[in-house]
Structure 1
Amino acid sequence: MWHVIQWVRSLVFIVQMYLMMVIVAVGFLPITLFSRKWVFHTIHLYCAWVRWTASWMVGLKSEIRGEVPQDEVIIAAKHQSFFDIILIASVIPRPKYIMKKQLRWAPIIGYYAKRVNCVAVDRGKRGAAIKQMVAEVNSGRSQPGQLVIFPQGTRVAAGAEKPYKIGTGVLYKETGQTVVPAATNVGVFWKRHGIMRYPGTAVVEFLPRIEPGKKIKDFMGEMEDVIETRSNALMEDAGFDLETGKRKFLEN
């Protein structure tokens, strides 16, 4: 019976979440056309709304740990669901993302992505995509912000394994920017697909910075190790069994 009630609550939450996306995006559209500052205000407002409604509608609280980057850095984040995007964007001052090219033409998302200087790449052409990322990141430096990239290239289910792509290492070397790794456990509560949202505490944790100057191979090894180690620890703390891929208990 609990699962039925939670599923209904989750459905209501999802519907209102996307409805509010439209209301907020369209409502603030006129002022965002003239002020980039208000673009970020709008994004922060929407993300705060999602976090707040998740906390009481489905019992999914959220927490940010570690030092939140305020300067111009690359954030290399573990990506498990839409919720880790929301959590990161809710706290960094000027978020911009490496995103798949198709999203550039998506209603609402495409407009705001362009306004914050997101970098759209064709993931199907690996070599060209890496060159494009470097070129667009370098050319966009006149608009400072925190560039978020998902080193595994896509959402990865909690407990699943997927190799880290070289693109983050190339960006690290070619831009000369500091990289801030970020771990998460959100996939335990908010899966990549499906309606069900589980109660508990979803965490995004910003980890110690990796400063410029390392060889790409060394950087990639260090980044993957710290992200995976800390993400696994966060998932285990949330009651997730890494061997079976299932939760050991449900928080009430």
Structure 2
Amino acid sequence: MRYAIQWLRSLIFSAQAYFAMIPIALIFLPWALIDRRGAFGAVHAWTGWIRWTASWMVGLKSEIRGPIPEGEVMIAAKHQSFFDIILICSALPRPKFIMKKQLLWAPIVGWYALRIGCVPVDRGRRGAAIKGMVEKVRANAVEPGQLIIFPQGTRVAAGVSMPYKVGVGVLYNELKAPVVPVACNVGVFWPRHAVYRKPGTAVIEFLPAIEPGLPIRAFLATVEEVVETRSDALMAEAGFPALER
């Protein structure tokens, strides 16, 4: 019975989270049309709303740890569910993503994503996708902000291993920008493909920046080591079984 009640609460929470996009998008639209700050205001308002409603509707509190980067940096983040995106965007002053091109067609999300400077990428052939990613990021470099990329390329469930893709290494090498790794335990509470939201405290943690200059292979090994090790520790803190790597 307790599980059923929590599942129903989770369903109601998820429904209101998506419906909340509409009034927030409309309220901020006039400002967003004339100034990108309006688009970021909408993003922060919506992500703040989700964090607040999650805390009392399903008992899922959230916490941001580590120094929040404010300058021109890349963010290499562990991606376990939609909630880690929400937490990262709520914390960063000017977040922007490398995202799937198909999301441009999503109502509300697509337009606001372009307005805050997200970089749409066609994830077709691997080599062409990486080349296109670099070109589009370079062309978008005039827009200030923190560029978020998920090194594993997709959401990865808590406890599941998946290699880090070379794309983040290519961007690091080409853009000569510091990279801030981000660890999380969000997937313990908010699974990828499930309605149920588990009560607890979801955490994302901004880790020390990796400065430019490393060879690509060394950079990939470093970012994977720090993100996976710290994510494992955060998941263990949340009661998730310890993992062997």
Deviates more, 1:20-29 or 1:71-80: 20-29
**Residue 242 (structure 1) shift:** 4.0
Any unmatched runs of 5+ in structure 1?
A: 245-252
Equivalent residues, number: 244
- Residues 93-242 of structure 1 correspond to what in structure 2 (within 5 A)? 93-242=93-242
Q: Please give the TM-score of this superposition, normalised by the length of structure 2.
A: 0.98
**Residue 27 (structure 1) shift:** 2.4
Aligned equivalents of 2:22, 2:157: Cα separation in 1? 28
Aligned equivalents of 1:140, 1:22: Cα separation in 2? 27
Q: Secondary structure at the match of 1:164?
A: coil
- Post-superposition Cα deviations, 1:101-154, rounded to whole Å, max 9, x if no partner, equal 100111111001110111111223211111111111111111110000000000
Aligned equivalents of 1:158, 1:17: Cα separation in 2? 23
Aligned equivalents of 1:189, 1:10: Cα separation in 2? 11
- Residues 65-104 of structure 1 correspond to what in structure 2 (within 5 A)? 65-104=65-104
Matched residue type, 1:62:
S
Mapped contact 2:29–2:38 kept (Cα < 8 A) = no
Aligned equivalents of 1:242, 1:107: Cα separation in 2? 40
Aligned equivalents of 2:242, 2:10: Cα separation in 1? 25
Q: Secondary structure at the match of 1:63?
A: strand
Aligned equivalents of 1:98, 1:171: Cα separation in 2? 11
Aligned equivalents of 1:28, 1:70: Cα separation in 2? 23
**Residue 25 (structure 1) shift:** 1.1
CA-atom RMSD in angstroms:
1.1
Mapped contact 2:48–2:90 kept (Cα < 8 A) = yes
Q: Secondary structure at the match of 1:28?
A: helix
Mapped contact 2:232–2:243 kept (Cα < 8 A) = no
**Residue 40 (structure 1) shift:** 0.5
Q: Runs (4+) of structure 1 moved beyond 6 Å?
A: none
Aligned equivalents of 1:242, 1:5: Cα separation in 2? 29
Is 1:2 the counterpart of 2:2 in the alignment?
Answer: yes
Aligned equivalents of 2:108, 2:132: Cα separation in 1? 24
- Post-superposition Cα deviations, 1:18-68, rounded to whole Å, max 9, x if no partner, equal 010122112221221111111101100110000000000000000000010
Deviates more, 1:83-92 or 1:113-122: 113-122
- Post-superposition Cα deviations, 1:178-213, rounded to whole Å, max 9, x if no partner, equal 000000000000000111000000000001100000
- Specify the alignment match of 2:63 in structure 1: 63
Is 1:38 the counterpart of 2:38 in the alignment?
Answer: yes
Any unmatched runs of 5+ in structure 2?
A: none
Aligned equivalents of 1:146, 1:72: Cα separation in 2? 6
